[in-house]
Amino acid sequence: MIEQPPDHCAVAINPQLRGAHLLLQKDLSLVNRLVALMPASDRAIFLEHSEMVELKVQTVLAQAGKNSDHAYFPVDCVVVSLLHDNGADGVEIGLVGNEGMANTSLVLGVRTSAFTSVVQGAGRSFKIHHKELEKLLAENLCLRVVLNRYIDVRMRQLAQRVACKNSHTVKQRLARWLLMTRDRAHANELFLTHEILALMLGVRRESVTLAARSLQTHGLISYTRGYVMLMDTAALEEVACTCYRSDIAVYERTLRQPCPTTA
């Protein structure tokens, strides 16, 4: 069952924005990269046991400490995972788009979620019940390997994020987060208030304001009333800390390995 989100999860990319080029993709089963990486036979079985759903902004897909029933494989929606500490606002620990999946703990046979996962950008997603997923994982080696590799990537990215927060400036991290969001929303126009950005980066709002002002002064972004336009993504990549490229490299290196055969 999808529950209503608590107020502190009110984070949103402009719900009107979707990856326009994704909408032109005829075979939506190949848009989510994990699903696309499955061998055709595994993919056919996965699609048979999953359904395509429309997810609205702020839909809660998992709540920390509660059981999750479904895993989600985004097509053109964006999901953020938040860690809550003593009832405070969440700290962003993961951003998932069509490169990944939400509720990864179900792959490991754990139904109780450690994090709260909320839809940040509206769109479509494949949804599969945990019992179906468990059955498919038990019967399909390549599916299991692909999803295990993805979990390994998420763990490495999470470790990188801890190092990032301690080592890199707010401006570098803001540039990285804007690029990460762009990559998953497939849009250069994002609806993000300073409050949301502060929540995502785990810093004070004033720090975000200063960093955003600097990026705007140098022509990298245009920022008006929560509406962010990425004006020069190449320059933004120059400003972003190395964690941005590192995350992408880890993903590509790990998931591009061939699947083992059962022969």
Binders of Zn ion among residues 149 to 178 (CB under 5 A) are 164, 168
Closer CB to Zn ion, residue 77 or residue 170? 170
In whole angstroms, the minimum distance from the beta carbon of 166 to Zn ion comes to 9
- 252 touches 149 (CB < 8 A): no
| Integer Cα distance of 151 and 155 in angstroms | 6
The smaller minimum CB distance to Zn ion, of residues 164 and 201, is found at 164
Question: What is the Cα 164 distance to its own chain's centre?
Answer: 17
DSSP string covering 141-176: HHHHHHHHHHHHHHHHHHHHHHHHHHHS-HHHHHHH
Instruction: Give the nearest distance from C-beta 261 to Zn ion in angstroms.
Output: 38
Nearer to Zn ion, 119 or 243 (CB): 243
CA atoms of 53 and 184, how far apart (whole Å): 18
Question: What part of residues 118-137 is at the interface with Zn ion (CB under 5 A)?
Answer: none
Q: Which stretch binds Zn ion (CB under 5 A): 91-99, 104-112, 137-145, 243-251?
A: 243-251
Q: Which stretch binds Zn ion (CB under 5 A): 29-37, 80-88, 183-191, 239-247?
A: 239-247
- Pick between residue 125 and residue 207 the one whose CB is nearest to Zn ion: 207
Q: Which of 136, 175, 179, 243 binds Zn ion (CB under 5 A)?
A: 243
What is the Cα 261 distance to its own chain's centre?
A: 29
Render 1-30 in DSSP notation, one character per residue: -PBPPPGGG-----TT---HHHHT-S-GGG
> Distance between alpha carbon 192 and the CA centroid of its chain, in Å?
16
User: At its nearest, how many Å lie between Zn ion and the CB of residue 195?
Assistant: 22
Nearest CB to Zn ion, comparing residues 46 and 177: 177
Compute the least distance from the CB of residue 64 to Zn ion, in Å: 25
Residue with tokens 């941005």: 244
CB of 160 to Zn ion, least distance (A): 7
CA distances for 99 relative to 19, 124, 240, 255, angstroms:
13, 13, 20, 10
Q: How far is the CB of 172 from Zn ion (least distance, A)?
A: 6
**Binding residues for Zn ion, per CB under 5 A?**
164, 168, 241, 243
